[in-house]
Amino acid sequence: MTPRDAIFDSLTRNAFDFLARGIAEFDESPKYSVIHFCAAVEMLLKARLMREHWSLIVSKPEQANLAKFMAGDFVSVTLEDARARLRDVASEDIGDDAYASFRALANHRNKMVHFFHNALENDEKTKAQIVAEHCRSWFHLHRLLTRWDGYFHDFGSEIAHADRAMKGHRKYLAAKFKALKPELAAARKARNAPKVCSACGFKSAIPDALDHQIASLRCLVCDHVETQVELECPHCDKPIVIANDGFITCEQCGESIEPKHLAEALTDHGAAHIAMMDGDDSWQPINCGNCEDYHTVVRRGEHYFCTNCFEISNHIEQCEWCGEYNTGDMEHSYFAGCSVCDGKAGWEKDD
């Protein structure tokens, strides 16, 4: 193991230790639970950044010094910069929902560190809020760790252990779930039956359905928002539910499911064929203006759904430079290009 690998290993191991503590010590000390849980999230993002280059976890990479780094003598990157660097250097956008959940955790941590509120932190409402924040953050973190399996494959048992511990952690939300029973029953009566929330596990996510397979949901227990797709696994044909991410492993057969499988399964091939005969390209795969992925967006009736980032859009536009269809704003595309081209500016640069 090189010294840099050893630092990655030690940082990651430490992160899982903090995470386990953050969950285990919740009952006795919500304050330390918030602090440790939040540190664990930040450490795991830093560990991923480190796999690109060690200097990226130093606040000013241009002043990074390897000897000081190895001695642990450096100011480390903020959450905001970590997100930006992951996006710019590693082309890994953690997503707005994930960032918002990590940010909420950090804000809570800062409050806990700066103000002494013994009574407040033990209040039932605050405790439920903390567990809700943990559930939302773990949902996103777990998803990222699965996506980054190539880097964290040695930590499979730590990840599984944390996931089990988080499932136990959810019990602190039971009182809130119980209090919401009338509201959930009303939703059921209005034919808008709550679904299982992927973050807290309670059947308390109210759907806002796009069609019979795709719905955006907001959980009344933990405030988690997600987009769920219900389909038959392309490998084993069993019914599955996928939330927020096109890269998953089927729980039924263990095969991996990627955006291209989802795009295939969600495309209305009949409509696409008829539209194409009429010269209408809008039923063909489209590029995503949100995650900038190629041909991951499929048309669903009057809406467009990205099978990679799960964004739902209601219109598409052609890039003024290359003519490809994209979701999102194409206003300056003649010069700046789109998700798949560099526009006139890039063309002139190459010339």
Which residues sit opposite 16 in a β-bridge? none
- If binding means CB under 5 A, how many residues of this protein chain bind Zn ion? 25
Residue 184 contacts Zn ion per CB under 5 A: no
Interface pattern 321-350 for Zn ion (x via CB under 5 A): xx--------------xx--x---------
Residue 224 contacts Zn ion per CB under 5 A: yes
Residue 34 contacts Zn ion per CB under 5 A: no
Site for Zn ion in 268-287 (CB under 5 A): none
Residue type, 337: G
Segment near Zn ion (CB under 5 A), from 40-48, 176-184, 271-279, 308-316? Answer: 308-316
Segment near Zn ion (CB under 5 A), from 5-13, 66-74, 113-121, 211-219? Answer: 211-219
> In the complex, what is the shortest distance from the CB of residue 303 to Zn ion, in angstroms, rounded to a whole number?
13
Residue 23 contacts Zn ion per CB under 5 A: no
Q: Which whole-number Å values give the CA distances from 265 to 146, 257, 305, in the listed order?
A: 22, 11, 12
> In the complex, what is the shortest distance from the CB of residue 318 to Zn ion, in angstroms, rounded to a whole number?
8
- The smaller minimum CB distance to Zn ion, of residues 85 and 224, is found at 224
Residue 217 contacts Zn ion per CB under 5 A: no
Q: Which whole-number Å values give the CA distances from 274 to 136, 269, 284, 295, in the listed order?
A: 42, 9, 11, 19
- The smaller minimum CB distance to Zn ion, of residues 31 and 224, is found at 224
- The smaller minimum CB distance to Zn ion, of residues 298 and 338, is found at 338
Residue 250 contacts Zn ion per CB under 5 A: yes
Region of residue 102 (phi > 0: left; psi between -120 and 50: alpha; otherwise: beta) = alpha
Closest CA to 7 of 43, 42, 59, 41: 43
Residue 236 contacts Zn ion per CB under 5 A: yes
- The smaller minimum CB distance to Zn ion, of residues 31 and 134, is found at 134
Residue type, 106: A
Separation between Cα atoms, residue 14 and residue 131, nearest integer Å: 21
Separation between Cα atoms, residue 47 and residue 26, nearest integer Å: 25
Cα 166 to the center of its chain, rounded Å: 17
> In the complex, what is the shortest distance from the CB of residue 283 to Zn ion, in angstroms, rounded to a whole number?
18
Residue 290 contacts Zn ion per CB under 5 A: yes
Alpha helices for 91-180 (secondary structure H) = 96-114, 118-121, 124-147, 149-152, 156-169, 174-179
Whose tokens are 């019979």? That residue is: 212
Q: Is the dihedral of CA 121, 126, 130, 133 positive or negative?
A: negative
Residue 215 contacts Zn ion per CB under 5 A: no
Separation between Cα atoms, residue 106 and residue 348, nearest integer Å: 44
Residue 197 contacts Zn ion per CB under 5 A: yes
Closest CA to 222 of 104, 94, 120: 104
CB 121 within 8 A of CB 111: no
Residue 130 contacts Zn ion per CB under 5 A: no
Residue 219 contacts Zn ion per CB under 5 A: yes
The residue within the footprint of Zn ion, chosen from 286, 319, 325, 328 (CB under 5 A), is: 319
Separation between Cα atoms, residue 155 and residue 151, nearest integer Å: 9
- The smaller minimum CB distance to Zn ion, of residues 15 and 248, is found at 248
Residue 288 contacts Zn ion per CB under 5 A: yes
Residue 94 contacts Zn ion per CB under 5 A: no
Separation between Cα atoms, residue 201 and residue 8, nearest integer Å: 32
Strands 312-313 and 316-318, by their bridges, are: unpaired
- The smaller minimum CB distance to Zn ion, of residues 47 and 197, is found at 197
Segment near Zn ion (CB under 5 A), from 66-74, 149-157, 275-283, 290-298? Answer: 290-298
> Which residues make up the interface to Zn ion (CB under 5 A)?
197, 199-200, 219, 221-222, 224, 233, 235-236, 250, 252-253, 288, 290-291, 306, 308-309, 319, 321-322, 337-338, 341
